[in-house]
Amino acid sequence: MSIDVGIYGATGYTGLELIRLLAGHPHASIRFATSEASAGQSLRQSWPLAPDLTLVPSADAPLDEVQAVFLCLPHTRSAPLAAQALGRGVRVVDLSADLRLDDPAVYAQWYKVDHPHPELLPRPYGLPELGRDNLIGAECIANPGCYATSVLLATVPLARHDLLIPGAPLIVDAKSGVSGAGRTPKQNILFAEVHGNFSPYNIGRGHRHLAEIEQVLAAEGSQAGPLIFSPHLLPTDRGILSTVYAQVTDAGAARAAFTTAYAGEPLVRVLPDGELATLRHVVNTPAAALSLTPAGDNLLIVVSVIDNLLKGAASQAVQNFNLMWNLPETTGLAAC
Amino acid sequence: MSIDVGIYGATGYTGLELIRLLAGHPHASIRFATSEASAGQSLRQSWPLAPDLTLVPSADAPLDEVQAVFLCLPHTRSAPLAAQALGRGVRVVDLSADLRLDDPAVYAQWYKVDHPHPELLPRPYGLPELGRDNLIGAECIANPGCYATSVLLATVPLARHDLLIPGAPLIVDAKSGVSGAGRTPKQNILFAEVHGNFSPYNIGRGHRHLAEIEQVLAAEGSQAGPLIFSPHLLPTDRGILSTVYAQVTDAGAARAAFTTAYAGEPLVRVLPDGELATLRHVVNTPAAALSLTPAGDNLLIVVSVIDNLLKGAASQAVQNFNLMWNLPETTGLAAC
Amino acid sequence: MSIDVGIYGATGYTGLELIRLLAGHPHASIRFATSEASAGQSLRQSWPLAPDLTLVPSADAPLDEVQAVFLCLPHTRSAPLAAQALGRGVRVVDLSADLRLDDPAVYAQWYKVDHPHPELLPRPYGLPELGRDNLIGAECIANPGCYATSVLLATVPLARHDLLIPGAPLIVDAKSGVSGAGRTPKQNILFAEVHGNFSPYNIGRGHRHLAEIEQVLAAEGSQAGPLIFSPHLLPTDRGILSTVYAQVTDAGAARAAFTTAYAGEPLVRVLPDGELATLRHVVNTPAAALSLTPAGDNLLIVVSVIDNLLKGAASQAVQNFNLMWNLPETTGLAAC
Amino acid sequence: MSIDVGIYGATGYTGLELIRLLAGHPHASIRFATSEASAGQSLRQSWPLAPDLTLVPSADAPLDEVQAVFLCLPHTRSAPLAAQALGRGVRVVDLSADLRLDDPAVYAQWYKVDHPHPELLPRPYGLPELGRDNLIGAECIANPGCYATSVLLATVPLARHDLLIPGAPLIVDAKSGVSGAGRTPKQNILFAEVHGNFSPYNIGRGHRHLAEIEQVLAAEGSQAGPLIFSPHLLPTDRGILSTVYAQVTDAGAARAAFTTAYAGEPLVRVLPDGELATLRHVVNTPAAALSLTPAGDNLLIVVSVIDNLLKGAASQAVQNFNLMWNLPETTGLAAC
């Protein structure tokens, strides 16, 4: 079986990864890839083993020739293309934020703009290790945010086992590589600004991924207090490490909650006692890793790591694509 | 006035900074600098504008020719030299951990070794912005740890104003450049291991600086619960950023506590609302910077930054040296 | 077809890449991987999608269970294992320098030690794009050095077309990421030494790869004068960029020499006029890229880039393995 | 003596360094600093120990209150301010390219624009170690380009001693940190593009600094052939390392040429045989360092290193300022 696919927004960092992964995927054939600014350029400039295609403006993308599209576009620009594709029977993996929040009012609150296609909502949230029933055979999947992926893998098992102390703040100190800030030139992400630097941003209750994290935690029955989420910009290109400080009823019971949750999952590793998760565990891989460190009976430190462009975006999108077409979930990820 | 000084341990990262600072200090003259491994090498290989001296083994250091020494040595190796120098009337700024803890039993507990010279304890703790009365004219000063400096600047004002909620955990998520790990070759600090990586270590209740932080906070009357301290290794050479999550009785009152504490201090800046502290604020400078971000009424996020080799070690040692000799405290730090 | 393989020296940087590549190779099955220092550790600590094996000391490697071995060992330690494997009919891809030089006397001159198994020499030199006839079906292949790969790809086409001015020095200014220096702790490759640094080493006529480069160029009929080779250490983990200054009889004819040489080669790209080769073209890929810039009629600047751990080591070893077994040459490299 | 000074263009990387150096200079007082984009912001945001001033737009700079100005502006924008300052009797150190070339026609050829104030030309070229007679007491000095400084220090001694083989190409392979590319956002200097990358640009005969290098070499009597100059962008923030391949009549005589040239110079070190120059020798210092490596009788490899923002810009400007006012040349640079 070979599924013809298209990629919208192929020259951002996530799009570049998707070209690489899909070029090596045994059951996908890239038929088009779009870029407004780089139209006409060969895909092989992005990835030497890519198919011999040139980038096209999104208006020229031959949507009729594909069975699925990946949307690597900014929020508000993604939903209209999702609507168009679904209208023609083309399946959609949306890597933007447009389909992640079930409630358009919450979207409007966090993104300061009305949702462009509220009729598309809700859609299944594509974090397979937290539940893949709704993803198998789905027509359209909302690919999770990178920070959200890292935080949810670290906290949902606690919520499911009622280990979070009701009302206590859930503190997440997160750090991300610079590719998470996108590829549009801004002074604060210039090399000479970031090299040798490390900087917090939007700390406390300011980051948009709070909305999708809290939506999932609430659905999982979490009684924890407010999520305090403090992202920082790391002087590296890729990777997210979230250090989670969870006040728990029984730190000793936490390990079982995690090993149960991820038993048999090839892409989520719960590290043994004494080994702490680091970016090196996962950068340039499709996997997540988690370490658990109790500090007393009622505080658990979970360190959760992913590659923001892979498990936090492109390789998770391939997992979702595989589930959508009933392919083995890690197809095409073996040597990513 | 010119004070003749010697530097023990001059080829570690801290020693190298001290050579640079003291070479430019208008009232200090370097008379010797020691290194076992690099004895015979010119100081100008470390710093082109250093005096024309060669490094000597510590056994050959002409202690009689100096009025003060700076000890940049590992713990247990520092205290014997401090005892020797003080015995000859030579003043001491000790940059090791040997003189920081008042109680030898606490030292033994954290450093897993008996204190080599318990009769030297206690000594004034040289964090001038938290109290310089005991430092002016002192014969011997314990220079604080780098992490401890960054955490104490961020928390003592809260303790002094009784703003910390009694019993609530005080969570500090800290990040340090690699020079903090020293200059002795180990695989985990090789370039190809750290580049692109970010890694926690000794998180929770494992790091030795906990002892000196808790000693000072207790002396300041803190009723807070256990300190949870999670250091991480940043892929950069220098700088410490500590993100402090303090549960407080009144987040709105915190700013006044800090601006009062540091009014008139040239080397500690409390940043205005909305500006977050970053490593760039302080790297290669002798200053600290702090930002305050309330997250609700009862949680305050303090971000505290220093250069670990300067305010966390060498330039703070120069502040202490200046105080010891009644010189203006920032002498020699103008363009450091 | 599935070929059972073993990897000797699996925890160096090259060995880690080979584990990753071979774990995803459709016609190879890793049966063992060796490490003296990390024996007992799971391969999955190196690569999450590796087979579920533990590292063994090389003495315990079940050589009888494999059909081929990859040797990622230091020179002098590799040849004895090659001899042992070949003696049992096991094929060998040797990534060390032991089998690259045809003449044991030249080996002794450059490596300052007698060759441990001169009877093994000569062996085919595995740089497929410069000639694969001797590699197809070979029992044993000498995998080229990383610098040598990058320099030879940039110069052999000139030698073949007699474009190098006889007697004129061939100047190569080369730059490599730090992984090329290996994983054994030394002060000069510590993070805090390399970060912000850039340093030449062994410049002029001092680097060992000179020998294999000159051996190949001579065999290709080069009349150029001495090779001047100046390697530098880049503050990054991987990648080699060689800037070659070649005095040529006709700079205008050079492009045709290169496009002819590499026509149809999927893993060597000759970039169009005006585009200069950079590490980004090739890092984390199995490909090489070359750019050609004439500077007047008689000087040609060739910039040649590879990933030192892939085309300079592990992925080239997989190319050679594929040729050895008559598999399509890029098998297993699609998404590396 | 205290000289009142102003800085135009104080928020670029060079301007930031000048603020730091002049804030610590014992005979200079910063009276104003200009920035169009950041007007109103405190200088202390750039440097914590700066005087308590706010940045002003250049139109509001109180030129009548100062005795000297430093121009850290782009070419074509600098010359008009130089003309204005000189017209009012204010001395000028111009860090732009506007006053470096003696001949406006050469300027027009390389900068593709007519010189805005040809009547200002020529002006003394401020590279003190190559000749300071014209700089002492000068009203206006052209501060050299960063690459030019590094290349001229490495080649002028050879020209002066007639060691360069007439007509032979002089090959310079240069590498610079990213701050050399300025602070204006562009995609190619984003962190995530440069990290892990290394890239040549304008190689051969394309870079503008060729003009000033060749002007000085010609004036020094060089008979060498064309200068081949290949700059590359290093993944670090600051520092330039130029590897010069000079064909010489007598490589053995080169060392004497250099030691003679720089005898007694505190800011130019000629390293001993066997020690190669690296960025670490000079980054964050006002010094240059040179190493000499013969490769045969007729080829000399000179490695020349500076901090592009200091010896390549700001600290050299302070040297020139000191000479202009008959101050000791290294005043204010002791601990820079």
* pLDDT for position A44: 83
Residues of chain B found within 8 Å of residue A271, distances taken between Cβ atoms: none
Interface chains of chain D (3 or more CB pairs under 8 Å): A, B, C
B257 close to A (CB below 8 A): no
Average pLDDT of every residue of chain D: 95
3-state secondary structure chain C: CCEEEEEECCCCHHHHHHHHHHHCCCCEEEEEEECCCCCCCEHHHCCCCCCCCECECHHHCCHHHCCEEEECCCCCCHHHHHHHHHHCCCEEEECCCCCCCCCHHHHHHHHCCCCCCHHHCCCCECCHHHCCCCCCCCCEEECCCHHHHHHHHHHHHHHHCCCECCCCCEEEEEEECHHHHCCCCCHHHEHHHHCCCCEECCCECCCCHHHHHHHHHHHCCCCCCCEEEEEEECCCCCCEEEEEEEEECCHHHHHHHHHHHHCCCCCEEECCCCCCCCHHHCCCCCCEEEEEEECCCCEEEEEEEECCCCCCCHHHHHHHHHHHCCCCCCCCCCCC
Query: Which of B 300-329 lie inside 8 A of A, CB atoms?
Result: 301, 303
Q: Nearest-CA distance from C188 to chain B in Å?
A: 9
* pLDDT for position A109: 96
Q: Nearest-CA distance from A75 to chain B in Å?
A: 26
Query: Which of B 38-67 lie inside 8 A of D, CB atoms?
Result: 44, 47-49
Nearest CB to B169: which of A205, A239, A299? A299
Average pLDDT for D120-138: 98
Q: Which two tokens stand for residue C330?
A: 């890029």
A287 close to C (CB below 8 A): yes
**Proportion of chain D above pLDDT 90, given as a percent:** 92
Nearest CA in chain B to A301: B204
Mutation target for D interface from A13, A190, A307: give the one with most D CBs within 10 A.
A190
Q: Which two tokens stand for residue D11?
A: 């928020």
Mutation target for B interface from C176, C186, C190: give the one with most B CBs within 10 A.
C190
Mutation target for C interface from B38, B190, B193: give the one with most C CBs within 10 A.
B190
Instruction: Say whether C284 and A284 touch across the interface (CB within 8 A).
Output: yes
Nearest CB to C203: which of D205, D235, D293? D293
Residues of chain D found within 8 Å of residue C195, distances taken between Cβ atoms: 236
Residues of chain B found within 8 Å of residue A193, distances taken between Cβ atoms: 280
* pLDDT for position C110: 95
Interface chains of chain B (3 or more CB pairs under 8 Å): A, C, D
pLDDT in tens, D13-64: 999 999 999 998 999 999 999 999 999 999 887 777 788 899 999 999 999 9
Average pLDDT for C144-172: 97
In whole angstroms, what is the distance from residue B301 CA to residue B312 CA?
A: 21
Strand order in the sheet with C227-233: C199-200, C227-233, C170-176, C240-247, C299-306, C288-294, C268-270
Domains and CATH numbers, chain B: 3-143+313-324 (3.40.50.720), 147-306 (3.30.360.10)
* pLDDT for position B319: 98
Query: Which of D 101-140 lie inside 8 A of C, CB atoms?
Result: none
Question: Are B213 and B227 in contact, with CB atoms under 8 Å apart?
Answer: yes
* pLDDT for position C51: 86
Question: Is the per-residue pLDDT at B49 higher than 80?
Answer: no
Instruction: Say whether C334 and A267 touch across the interface (CB within 8 A).
Output: no
Nearest CB to D48: which of B24, B48, B287? B287
pLDDT in tens, D299-309: 999 999 999 99
Give the pLDDT band of residue C169 (cuts 50, 70, 90). Answer: very high
- Please state the pTM of the whole predicted model: 0.96
Which of D256, D250, D251, D284 is CA-nearest to residue D270? D256
CB pairs below 8 Å between A and D: how many?
A: 66
Q: How far separated are the first and last CA of chain A, in Å rounded?
A: 21
Average pLDDT of every residue of chain B: 95
**Proportion of chain B above pLDDT 70, given as a percent:** 99
D297 close to C (CB below 8 A): no
Q: What one-character DSSP code corresponds to residue B129?
A: G
The amino acid sitting at D225 is: G
Question: Is the per-residue pLDDT at C134 higher than 70?
Answer: yes
B248 close to A (CB below 8 A): no
C187 close to B (CB below 8 A): yes
B186 close to C (CB below 8 A): yes
D293 close to C (CB below 8 A): yes
C246 close to D (CB below 8 A): no
C237 close to B (CB below 8 A): yes
A289 close to C (CB below 8 A): yes
D272 close to B (CB below 8 A): no
Instruction: Say whether D175 and C171 touch across the interface (CB within 8 A).
Output: no
Instruction: Say whether A13 and D183 touch across the interface (CB within 8 A).
Output: no
Residues of chain C found within 8 Å of residue D225, distances taken between Cβ atoms: none
**Proportion of chain C above pLDDT 90, given as a percent:** 92
Nearest CA in chain A to B195: A236
Per-residue pLDDT of chain A (336 residues), as tens digits, is 799 999 999 999 999 999 999 998 999 999 999 999 999 999 887 777 788 899 999 999 999 999 999 999 999 999 999 999 999 999 999 999 999 999 999 999 999 999 999 999 999 999 999 999 999 999 999 999 999 999 999 999 999 999 999 999 999 999 999 999 999 999 999 999 999 999 999 999 888 989 999 999 999 999 999 999 999 999 999 999 999 999 999 999 999 999 999 999 999 999 999 999 999 999 999 999 999 999 999 999 999 999 999 999 999 999 999 999 999 999 998 754
* pLDDT for position B335: 55
Active site residue C140: no
Torsion angle, alpha carbons of D83, D86, D91, D97, to 10: 20
pLDDT in tens, B167-225: 999 999 999 999 999 999 999 999 999 999 999 999 998 889 899 999 999 999 999 99
Interface pTM (ipTM) of the complex? 0.96
* CB neighbourhood size of D104 (10 A): 17
Instruction: Say whether C199 and D237 touch across the interface (CB within 8 A).
Output: no
Nearest CA in chain B to D283: B47
Residues of chain D found within 8 Å of residue C301, distances taken between Cβ atoms: 203-204, 228, 230
Q: Sign (positive/negative) of CA torsion C25, C28, C30, C35? A: negative
**Strand C3-8 relative to strand C28-33: parallel, antiparallel, unpaired?**
parallel
Instruction: Say whether B333 and D49 touch across the interface (CB within 8 A).
Output: yes
Please give the full DSSP string across A236-256, using - where no structure is assigned: SSS-EEEEEEEEBS-GGGHHH
Q: What one-character DSSP code corresponds to residue B17?
A: H
Which of B33, B25, B30 is CA-nearest to residue B8? B33
Question: Is the per-residue pLDDT at B163 higher than 80?
Answer: yes
* pLDDT for position A49: 75
Nearest CA in chain A to C50: A334
Mutation target for B interface from A165, A179, A232, A237: give the one with most B CBs within 10 A.
A232
Q: Nearest-CA distance from B280 to chain A in Å?
A: 5
Average pLDDT of every residue of chain C: 95
Q: C266-285 burial string, b = 16+ CB within 10 Å, else e?
A: ebbbbbeeeebbbbbbbbbb
Instruction: Say whether A44 and C269 touch across the interface (CB within 8 A).
Output: yes
| Look-up of token digits 């790297």 | B283
Give the pLDDT band of residue D335 (cuts 50, 70, 90). Answer: low
What DSSP element (H or E) covers B136?
A: none
Average pLDDT for B250-267: 95
In whole angstroms, what is the distance from residue D316 CA to residue B103 CA?
A: 52
In whole angstroms, what is the distance from residue D291 CA to residue C330 CA?
A: 44
Question: Are A15 and A30 in contact, with CB atoms under 8 Å apart?
Answer: no
Average pLDDT for B12-18: 95
